[in-house]
């Protein structure tokens, strides 16, 4: 935490020292935060988020063949991320016998129902899968641990990348 704070902090020091007269003057200006993001920066950040959501949407519909060896894609069982319930993670997952994050459940569904190769949890693909699921559930109350709720996602917002045709890989056309 301290390292983080120090990295963010800019200390502008203006010091003058008059040793002869034993007078020391030190003026420090401490800036604790950067300027607010500009509209352009915010627009760029939103664009990059939507690009990840868009990439996640492609993956969800079968664009990475290594994620499935039986022709199934996430969208076959979770259309529009339905019943993926990202807002309920982390939670205890009975098959794995431990508390897991959403990415662990995504990898469980890749390796179990889709008999595919799990994603590197730190990869852009995995971040995009999470971005897609969370984006479709935006506005939902965060309720970690809830094991019973089955909810539909929020309807897809029309915007950059939407609507888009599925890749056609797998049966999810
Ligand atoms: C053949 C159908 C099928 C496919 C394909 C499938 N899933 Fe699942 N998914 C399930 C089932 C069944 C469960 C419930 C498993 C459980 O709770 O033990 C589940 C649960 C989940 C959950 C947890 C939902 C909750 O409420 O806890 C997530 C997240 C999820 N799947 C994501 C994915 C993703 C991402 C993919 C694609 C990589 C995918 N699933 C592919 C059937 C499927």
Would the pLDDT of 160 be above 70? no
> What is the Cα Rg of the chain in Å?
24
Q: Is 67 in the pocket of ligand 1 (CB under 6 A)?
A: yes
Q: How far is the CA of 81 from the centre of ligand 1 (A)?
A: 9
The answer to whether residue 155 is domain-embedded is: no
pLDDT tier for residue 148 given thresholds of 50, 70 and 90 = low
Alpha carbon distance 14, 135 (integer Å): 47
Distance, CA of 30 to chain centre: 33
Q: For atom 22 of ligand 1, which residue has the closest CA?
A: 84
pLDDT 10s digits, 66-121: 999 988 899 888 888 888 999 999 999 888 899 999 999 999 999 999 999 999 99
Residue range(s) defining the domain that contains residue 78 = 39-136
Residue 71: which CATH number?
1.10.760.10
Would the pLDDT of 161 be above 90? no
Whether 74 and 60 have beta carbons less than 8 Å apart is answered as: yes
Our mutation pick for probing the ligand 1 site, out of 58, 105, 111, counting the most ligand atoms within 8 A of Cβ, is 105
Q: Is 114 in the pocket of ligand 1 (CB under 6 A)?
A: yes
Question: What Cα–Cα distance (Å) separates residue 122 from each residue in 1, 4, 42, 58?
Answer: 22, 21, 24, 18
The answer to whether residue 27 is domain-embedded is: no
Q: Is 84 in the pocket of ligand 1 (CB under 6 A)?
A: yes
3 state DSSP class of 63 = coil
For residue 70, the tally of other CB atoms under 10 A from its CB is 10
Q: What pLDDT, on the 0 to 100 scale, is given for residue 33? A: 84
The answer to whether residue 23 is domain-embedded is: no
Q: What pLDDT, on the 0 to 100 scale, is given for residue 3? A: 44
Q: Is 105 in the pocket of ligand 1 (CB under 6 A)?
A: yes
The answer to whether residue 106 is domain-embedded is: yes
Least confident span in 30-34, 107-111, 112-116, 159-163 = 159-163
More confident residue, 47 or 159: 47
The answer to whether residue 163 is domain-embedded is: no
Q: Is 68 in the pocket of ligand 1 (CB under 6 A)?
A: no
pLDDT, mean over the chain = 78
Q: What pLDDT, on the 0 to 100 scale, is given for residue 18? A: 46
The answer to whether residue 69 is domain-embedded is: yes
Q: What pLDDT, on the 0 to 100 scale, is given for residue 157? A: 47
The answer to whether residue 77 is domain-embedded is: yes
Q: How far is the CA of 99 from the centre of ligand 1 (A)?
A: 16
The answer to whether residue 160 is domain-embedded is: no
* Domains: count for the chain: 1
Q: What pLDDT, on the 0 to 100 scale, is given for residue 152? A: 64
């Amino acid at each position: 935490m301290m390292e983080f704070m120090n990295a963010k902090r800019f200390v502008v020091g203006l010091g003058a020292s008059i040793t002869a007269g034993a007078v020391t003057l030190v003026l420090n200006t401490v800036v604790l935060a950067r300027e607010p993001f500009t509209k352009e920066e915010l627009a760029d950040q939103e664009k990059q988020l939507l690009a990840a959501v868009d990439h996640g949407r492609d993956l969800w519909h079968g664009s990475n063949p290594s994620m499935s060896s039986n022709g199934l894609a996430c969208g076959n069982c979770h259309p529009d991320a339905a019943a993926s319930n990202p807002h309920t993670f982390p939670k205890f997952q009975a098959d794995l016998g431990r508390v897991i994050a959403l990415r662990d459940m995504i990898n469980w569904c890749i390796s179990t129902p889709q008999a595919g190769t799990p994603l590197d949890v730190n990869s852009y693909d995995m971040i995009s899968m999470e971005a897609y699921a969370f984006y479709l559930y935006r506005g939902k109350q965060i309720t970690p641990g809830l094991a019973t709720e089955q909810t539909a996602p929020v309807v897809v917002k029309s915007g950059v990348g939407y609507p888009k045709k599925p890749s056609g890989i797998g049966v999810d056309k």
